[in-house]
């Protein structure tokens, strides 16, 4: 159930409504939007509560949300969520580009790739220090040292950083080093991990499970939001279908569908979504045309010798730079802001702090 307030409501009245809800033994989540405030009621409320709330001063309407997820739903939060990380805004009309290797390998490797991501106009450096590998004998990532290498490279080149966290125990250390935490496709329903991510405020990029429905995906996001962390972005990274030519099938319709159902930013991953280098560029452009708020793209200076199998889907640095130039032309046509020259000047002072 949600309470929609009148636009003229003051803070005191909002607090009265919240107290009334809490006295009924359920939780209230206040979301202040442009023009109106929405108060979400979490928990099983007595039917009489809706009637009481309707009578209260400042209340415009009380609506029952039948979806199992509530905080993630657009009914609860009609405006787009915009996550501001050190001045980089993710969501709304901003296009954010995250680029980098599948895995952090050495300080030199991640530093050089960071330089190239920045020079091309990207805002976020990606790289896994802990890798979720299908086989136990495959390279599992360089671990905590990788977090340090990436944080150094990000700081040096004025980029935000994103890295994958796989277990609740590693959330704090990953959050100490990275600006955004990635939950991989295999962990979308690792509920202990999601609950732990709800207890911090570090933004989370939640990847869609490769066999998950939109409903399951949004319920996974709801775990993080319900814990109190409002900074969640959704990532479409391809789903498993009967087709084997591509590694996954990038579900482009997920982008407008999720943006309709939810207020959270939607990021597309054309690298894992296709598994083939030659398809990354067209699918990146198609994602932006479909309304994606950002892209996460694998790029490597020596893809053939990358330490994970993802070299085959990694762009070469010149391809990455060309793609970003093309996106700069495409972005305004679809109502997005993206300026490759802005990245150079952007927020250096903030990062150096």
CB of 126 to Mn ion, least distance (A): 9
- What b/e string do you get for 242-260 counting C-beta neighbours within 10 Å, with b at 16 or more? eeeebbbbbbbebbeebbe
Residues 185 and 206: their CA atoms lie apart, in Å, by 8
**Among residues 29 and 207, whose Cβ is nearest to ligand PEP?**
207
Verify binding: residue 315, Mn ion, rule CB under 5 A: no
Verify binding: residue 310, Mn ion, rule CB under 5 A: yes
- Figure out which of the listed residues 118, 157, 196, 237 binds ligand PEP, where binding follows CB under 6 A: 237
Helical residues (DSSP H) of 121-202, grouped into ranges: 144-157, 171-177, 191-198
The DSSP-derived string for 256-270 is: HHHHHHB-S-EEE-H
Of 165, 170, 169, 224, the C-alpha closest to 198 is 224
Residue in the shown chain whose Cβ atom is closest to Mn ion: 102
Residues 245 and 230: their CA atoms lie apart, in Å, by 37
- Partner from Mn ion, ligand PEP, none binding residue 185, C-beta < 5-8 Å depending on class: ligand PEP
CB of 134 to ligand PEP, least distance (A): 10
Q: How many other β-carbons are positioned within 10 Å of the β-carbon of residue 302?
A: 13
- Figure out which of the listed residues 132, 168, 230, 311 binds ligand PEP, where binding follows CB under 6 A: 132
Verify binding: residue 184, ligand PEP, rule CB under 6 A: yes
- Figure out which of the listed residues 38, 88, 90, 102 binds ligand PEP, where binding follows CB under 6 A: 102
Residue in the shown chain whose Cβ atom is closest to ligand PEP: 184
**Among residues 227 and 311, whose Cβ is nearest to ligand PEP?**
311
CB of 166 to ligand PEP, least distance (A): 10
Piece of the chain touching ligand PEP by CB under 6 A; list 17-25, 114-122, 134-142, 180-188: 180-188
Residues 120 and 340: their CA atoms lie apart, in Å, by 7
CA distances from 156 to 114, 127, 191, 350 (A): 9, 15, 35, 12
* Chain contacts with ligand PEP (rule: CB under 6 A): 102, 128, 132, 184-186, 207, 237, 272
């Amino acid at each position: 159930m949600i309470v929609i307030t009148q636009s003229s409501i003051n803070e005191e009245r909002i607090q009265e409504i919240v107290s009334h809800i809490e006295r009924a033994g359920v939780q209230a989540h206040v979301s202040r939007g442009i023009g109106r405030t929405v108060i979400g009621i979490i928990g099983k409320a007595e039917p009489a509560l809706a009637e009481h709330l309707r009578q209260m001063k400042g209340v415009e309407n009380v609506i029952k949300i039948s979806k199992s997820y509530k905080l993630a739903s657009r009914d609860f939060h009609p405006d787009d969520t915009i996550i501001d990380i050190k001045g980089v805004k993710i969501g709304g009309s901003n296009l954010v580009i995250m680029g980098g290797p599948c895995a952090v390998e050495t300080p030199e490797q991640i530093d050089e790739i960071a330089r190239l991501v920045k020079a091309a106009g990207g805002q976020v450096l990606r790289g896994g220090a802990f890798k979720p590998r299908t086989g136990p004998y495959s390279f599992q990532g360089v671990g905590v040292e990788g977090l340090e290498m990436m944080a150094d490279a990000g700081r040096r080149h004025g980029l935000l950083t994103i890295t994958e966290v796989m277990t609740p125990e590693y959330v704090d250390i990953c959050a100490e080093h990275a600006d955004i935490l990635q939950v991989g496709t295999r962990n979308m329903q690792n509920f202990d991990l999601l609950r732990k991510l709800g207890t911090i405020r570090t933004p989370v990029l939640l990847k869609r499970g490769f066999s998950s429905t939109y409903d399951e995906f949004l319920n996974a996001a709801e775990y993080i939001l319900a814990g109190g962390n409002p900074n969640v972005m959704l990532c479409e990274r391809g789903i498993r279908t009967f087709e084997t030519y591509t590694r996954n099938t990038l579900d482009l319709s997920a982008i407008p569908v999720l943006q309709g159902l939810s207020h959270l930013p939607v990021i597309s991953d054309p690298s894992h979504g296709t598994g083939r280098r030659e398809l990354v560029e067209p699918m990146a452009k198609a994602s932006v045309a479909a309304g994606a708020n950002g892209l996460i793209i694998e790029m490597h200076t020596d893809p053939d010798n990358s330490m994970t199998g993802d070299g085959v889907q990694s762009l070469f640095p010149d391809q990455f730079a060309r793609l970003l130039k093309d996106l700069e032309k495409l972005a305004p046509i679809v109502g997005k802001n993206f300026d490759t020259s802005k990245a150079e000047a952007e927020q250096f002072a903030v990062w150096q702090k």
